[in-house]
């Protein structure tokens, strides 16, 4: 909206709208478009709106999508959510017909060593990424990337292809693939993932096929949650 649009919608003088808009810009509730003539919802307000989904709608809407993805790949499908700077497991589904050894997605998702962590981190703002990379980066397995520049290169690749992988970087023998759930303005606070034994998953599916199915589920979830809200 332009400044005039804001003033008209709020039914206040343009001078008052200008003063209030500047305050909202300062606190991150609004942001100026590149031409500085149009204002958009800012990153801080978008984060508040993300929290307004609540737990029930996501779980309810996601359940059929997770079940479908789990059944197609015959592994555990799951959703993670970014809350207060920490990634948490939101929901998961087991396939109806599955191998004897299924892998639970767990409850810890380091940004640098898990598929969900990298898929989430890649689409945050630079300040968030810098803060994460300024902290200790532990090596969990031999395959864990701990070099900060290499992690940034991995994040660039995630943005390019639209998904992230963790191949035995966090847990021995475990492979996971995750895609971001992208909302308006590229906002990401959810990921959809699939997890299982690395050898088994690579023996049955090409990575491109797993990625296509997971990205499709993420896109459907974005559409359904946006419509629900």
Question: What does the alpha-carbon distance between residue 69 and residue 139 come to, in Å, rounded to a whole number?
Answer: 30
Tell me 186's DSSP state.
G
Per-residue pLDDT tens, the chain, 229 aa: give them.
898 999 999 999 999 989 999 899 888 888 888 777 888 888 777 666 665 555 556 778 889 999 999 999 999 999 999 988 899 999 999 999 876 689 999 999 999 999 999 999 999 999 999 999 999 999 999 999 999 999 999 999 999 999 999 999 999 999 999 999 998 767 899 999 999 999 999 999 999 999 999 999 999 999 888 765 5
pLDDT on residue 53? 57
Question: What does the alpha-carbon distance between residue 89 and residue 222 come to, in Å, rounded to a whole number?
Answer: 17
pLDDT on residue 51? 56
182 contacts 218 by C-beta, under 8 angstroms: yes
pLDDT on residue 197? 95
Q: 181: which 2 tokens?
A: 């759930």
- In a 13 Å sphere around the CA of 131, the CA atoms on its Cβ side amount to 8
Question: What does the alpha-carbon distance between residue 62 and residue 89 come to, in Å, rounded to a whole number?
Answer: 13
Domains of the chain: 3-41 (no CATH), 50-228 (3.30.450.40)
Q: 36: which 2 tokens?
A: 């500085």
pLDDT on residue 223? 87
pLDDT on residue 227? 65
Q: Residues with Cβ < 8 Å from 13, sequence gap 6 or more?
A: 7
Q: 3: which 2 tokens?
A: 């400044």
Q: 34: which 2 tokens?
A: 């590149």
pLDDT on residue 34? 76
């Amino acid at each position: 909206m332009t400044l005039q649009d804001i003033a008209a919608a709020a039914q206040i003088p343009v001078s008052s709208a200008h003063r209030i808009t500047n305050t909202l810009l300062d606190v991150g509730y609004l942001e100026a478009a590149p031409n500085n003539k149009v204002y958009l919802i800012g990153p801080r307000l978008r984060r508040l709106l993300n929290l307004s989904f609540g737990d029930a709608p996501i779980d309810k809407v996601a359940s059929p999508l997770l079940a479908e993805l789990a059944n197609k790949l015959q592994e555990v499908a799951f959703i993670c959510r970014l809350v207060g700077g920490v990634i948490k497991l939101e929901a998961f589904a087991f396939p109806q017909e599955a191998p004897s050894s299924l892998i639970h997605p767990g409850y810890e998702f380091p940004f640098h060593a898990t598929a969900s962590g990298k898929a989430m981190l890649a689409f945050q703002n630079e300040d968030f990424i810098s803060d994460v990379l300024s902290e200790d980066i532990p090596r969990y397995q031999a395959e864990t990337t701990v070099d900060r520049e290499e992690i940034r290169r991995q994040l660039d690749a995630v943005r390019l292809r639209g998904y992230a992988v963790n191949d035995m970087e966090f847990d021995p023998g475990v492979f996971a693939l995750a895609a971001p759930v992208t909302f308006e303005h590229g906002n990401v606070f959810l990921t959809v993932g699939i997890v299982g034994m690395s050898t088994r998953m690579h023996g049955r599916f090409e990575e491109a096929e797993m990625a296509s199915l997971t990205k499709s589920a993420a896109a459907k979830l974005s559409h359904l949650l946006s419509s629900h809200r």
